[in-house]
Amino acid sequence: MKIQIINGPNLNLLGKREPDVYGNTSFDSYLLSLRKNYPNIAIEYFQSNIEGELIDKIHETGFTFDGIILNAGAYTHTSIALHDAIKAITTPVIEVHISNVHAREAFRHESKISAVCKGIIAGFGMDSYRLAVESFTPISPKRDFAIA
Ligand code: DQA
């Protein structure tokens, strides 16, 4: 199982940026624990502040990886080019946000990419990424329960 995490603009500042909204943890240290907790999943990571580089990474991984977890940052709300890139590939993409974008400014309520993503996870802090990884795992203790 191969999963690509892609973080967009300003997410390189996680841990320093608006800690009341995004927390105190850097993505590098969060990634270490994510990899430790999912030793059987190859979790690749890419961050860029440049829209075209995000698109290139989606193209590069979008036909071979099992899943892409994309936090497009503010490009979520503006980028038709990212929408088209996600539509062009075959790998399912999960849209992720650390904050609950719907509880924030109105301009964050619209996403240009939701409609072409498999699902959306927002508002769980850094745990949003783990929940997205979890969604790609077919069997896990948390989801292995019987429905009556
Ligand atoms: C974000 C929410 C976006 O509105 C914002 O521009 C970000 C981060 C989040 O993870 O909560 O950069 O995607």
For the segment 113-130, what is each residue's pLDDT rounded down to a tens digit? 999 999 999 999 999 999
**CB contact set of 97 (below 8 Å; sequence gap of 6+):** 71, 76, 120, 121, 122, 123, 128
For the segment 19-47, what is each residue's pLDDT rounded down to a tens digit? 999 999 999 999 999 999 999 999 999 99
For domain 2-136, give the CATH superfamily.
Answer: Dehydroquinase, class II (3.40.50.9100)
The ligand 1 atom nearest the CA atom of 122: 11
98 lines ligand 1 (CB under 6 A): yes
Angle among Cα 60, 65, 112 to the nearest 5 degrees reads 70
Can 97 be counted among the known catalytic residues?
A: yes
Would you call 145 exposed, middle or buried from its count of C-beta atoms within 10 A (0-12, 13-18, 19+)?
Answer: exposed
Q: What's the pTM value of the predicted model, to 2 decimals?
A: 0.94
d(CA 48, CA 114): 20
The ligand 1 atom nearest the CA atom of 10: 12
What pLDDT does residue 94 have? 98
78 lines ligand 1 (CB under 6 A): no
CA atoms within 13 Å, Cβ hemisphere of 25: 12
What pLDDT does residue 137 have? 87
What is the Å distance from ligand 1's center to 93 Cα? 17
Domain ranges of the chain: 2-136
Segment (H or E) for 55 = helix 51-61
The pLDDT of 68-78, averaged and rounded, is: 98
> Does 143 have pLDDT greater than 60?
no
